A and B are shown apart, each in its own frame.
Chain A
Amino acid sequence: MAAAPSGSRTRMVTLISKGGRNFKMPEAVALVSSRSCREALDYIEYRGNNTMMIKLLDIDPKPVSMLVNFCNHMAAAATSAASDDAAQRMREWEERFLGDDVDQALLYDLLSAAISIQADGLIDLVCKRVAHMIKGKTPQEIRTILGIQDDLTPDQRDEIRTDNSWIDI
């Protein structure tokens, strides 16, 4: 990647949500948080003053703004010194970030947005939350939570039971 000319303005990356709302983050943040951005910037040799824009037109503004918020926060945390305190603060922030006001639909949209730009940190966090939601639940409960249709035949069910004799299914 050729060195960009040193400009006085930080280059930004813009995410565009449904309804045309724009959310920006500095390019440095996008590079750290998003694999797609890294790949793209690796590939493009010279961009001059161009802004990178990513369209997530199927996704509501709220999850996109949360995504940008997350990326900014993670990038800031990465630069500060690692310590037990810092790790604890990060855990607390993550808990507030996915707080009680984040319902399942929002969680899903947030995951979609994160997958779209391959923001591995946020994908991981949401996966942890989903795992927490289904932990200890019966299969029927899990199907209700995740909205999964049960399409197994009784024969298939029996096969699964025999294959996995070591657990109670």
Chain B
Amino acid sequence: MLTANPLLYICGRSIQLGQQIITDLVVNNQQYPLAVNIMSTSKRAKLSHGTSNLATKQQSEDPFENLPQDVICSILSKLPLDEAARTSTLSTKWRHTWKSRPKLRIDGATMFYCVDIPADITTNNQELYTQGFIQAANAILDQCSSASSTTAAAEEFTVKYPFDIIKYPSDSMLVGHLDNWVRFAVSARTRSLAIDLEPEGLKCCECRYSFPLELFDEQSLSRLEAIRLSVVSLRAPPPGSGGFPNIKSLDLRFVDLSSDDLQLVLSGCFRLERLSIVSCHMHDGELRVPPAPCLRYLLVANSSVNKIQLIAGNLTTFVYDGPMVPLEALELRHAELDFSSLLTLEDAITELPKAIPHAQNLHLIAPMTLEELHLPECAIKFAHLKHLELTLCLYGPGCENNLLSLASFLKAAPLLEGLYINLPALRSLPPCPHGHLKRLRIGGFCGTLGEIELAAHVADNSPRLESLVIDP
């Protein structure tokens, strides 16, 4: 049976078990009466400062009946939403417990177990689908708002549904409801809010849901610790409103935010630890990350920035996917830079050390040409670089012959301890087995990539091969 309470015997008097007194504990000349009565299940033992939150329960036949509410909530939170909701029919005690769901996720894709989804979604069917989703979401949130305010509110609230007004004009009916659902999040004291309206395979979008900043007051804004938005448009909070002072994680995808607005938003985020900006086209925009003492992780991808300036002393990881842009990140220590357009060796050796002079750990991914043997000199070196990983997509004439140029990284990084070079895999042709070839000889072999590819192809496709001679 669930025991009434644990008892902390700090003073070590253990009468019931007849054990030795350990020592008396005296704090501020007072002995603390922490233990009340262990054998009785009818009293509650308390620490005078913290309390154990178990109430005394009747002994009963049904042990799981006696579990504390928060433990039952924990069990239900590990079930999908619809299964948790079904437990409302188990008994009167279980009727409302599922509603205190700390992580509440309203996901269009998982909410339709009992609705027949037509195989081909024509515009009309999509409207039905969306209507069904709205009804279900409203029914769930009605139930969850009626839960007592002392139980766990929806600390984490996620809404996920594809929103594409251009393709399905009926999606516009979602907007008013989304506003209501954000209102629910505000009243449920949500700390982590995610609005994910991204349809699958989205490349660019024209119409977004406008984030209803006006529904938040200063208190609810300061309660937010994580925001994740996709296909949403966000304005900076009005000046003087305090912004998002406690936000730790900001994830933006397909959000249209001008670089000025973004800077305004970020300047109020003193606790920001993680920032992710993906596919937020800030045309001709500079990304200036204001001093963010807590920022540890920054991801910028596919966002058409033309300059990046970071002042983030504790930033440890910067993942960048895009064209080579003027970059200034003086304090950065770990970086994974994935340049989608050509990076010359010259730039890599001369410009990058200026951009990230304190880098200790760098993974550089970029397409590169090496047309001649060239060892760029640089005045400013990677003075602290200990580990360098190069994943270079080499192309253009003669690049294999000029791999030696990569040695300039050694000169640019005098303290380098580890160098990993990932060269592109061998190209291959489709299999074309040759049933007769028995002997292959390659003379004048220098070990170039092309020679190896040819030899490998022939060997793979010649089941009768008896002799393969490579003659330098």
Q: Are A148 and B3 in contact (CB under 8 A)?
A: no
Q: Are B78 and A163 in contact (CB under 8 A)?
A: no
User: A58 to chain B: which residues have CB within 8 Å?
Assistant: 1-4, 41
> Which B residue sits closest to A51, measured CB to CB?
B22
A51 to chain B, nearest CB (A): 6
Q: Hey, what's the 0/1 contact readout for A33-63 against B, CB within 8 Å counting as 1?
A: 0001101101111111111111111110000
Q: How far is the CA of A125 from the CA of B8 in the complex (A)?
A: 24
Q: Are A112 and B3 in contact (CB under 8 A)?
A: yes
Within 8 A of B (CB), among A112-169: 112, 115-118, 123-124, 127-128, 130-132, 134-136, 139, 142-143, 146-152, 156-157, 160, 163-169
User: A59 to chain B: which residues have CB within 8 Å?
Assistant: 3
Interface size in chain A (residues, C-beta < 8 A): 62
User: A151 to chain B: which residues have CB within 8 Å?
Assistant: 91-92
B420 within 8 A of A: no
B379 within 8 A of A: no
Q: Are B139 and A111 in contact (CB under 8 A)?
A: no
User: B64 to chain A: which residues have CB within 8 Å?
Assistant: 108, 130, 146-148
Q: How far is the CA of A151 from the CA of B83 in the complex (A)?
A: 20
A14 to chain B, nearest CB (A): 9
A-B contact count (CB 8 A): 172
User: B92 to chain A: which residues have CB within 8 Å?
Assistant: 151-152, 156
User: A134 to chain B: which residues have CB within 8 Å?
Assistant: 75, 79, 83, 87
Q: Are B9 and A40 in contact (CB under 8 A)?
A: no
Q: Given known contacts A127-B71, A147-B62, is B91 in contact with A47 (CB within 8 Å)?
A: no
A142 to chain B, nearest CB (A): 6
A54 to chain B, nearest CB (A): 5
Q: Are A156 and B95 in contact (CB under 8 A)?
A: yes
Q: Give A contacts to B, CB under 8 Å.
A: 16, 20, 36-37, 39-40, 42-59, 105, 108, 111-112, 115-118, 123-124, 127-128, 130-132, 134-136, 139, 142-143, 146-152, 156-157, 160, 163-169
Q: Give B contacts to A, CB under 8 Å.
A: 1-12, 14, 17, 22-23, 25, 27-28, 32, 38-39, 41, 47, 49-50, 52, 54, 61-65, 67-68, 71, 74-76, 78-79, 82-83, 85-95, 111, 113-114, 135-136, 139-140, 142-143
Would you mind naming 12 contact pairs between A and B with Cβ atoms under 8 Å apart? A40-B8, A44-B27, A45-B28, A52-B8, A52-B9, A53-B14, A55-B38, A56-B3, A112-B3, A130-B75, A149-B91, A156-B95
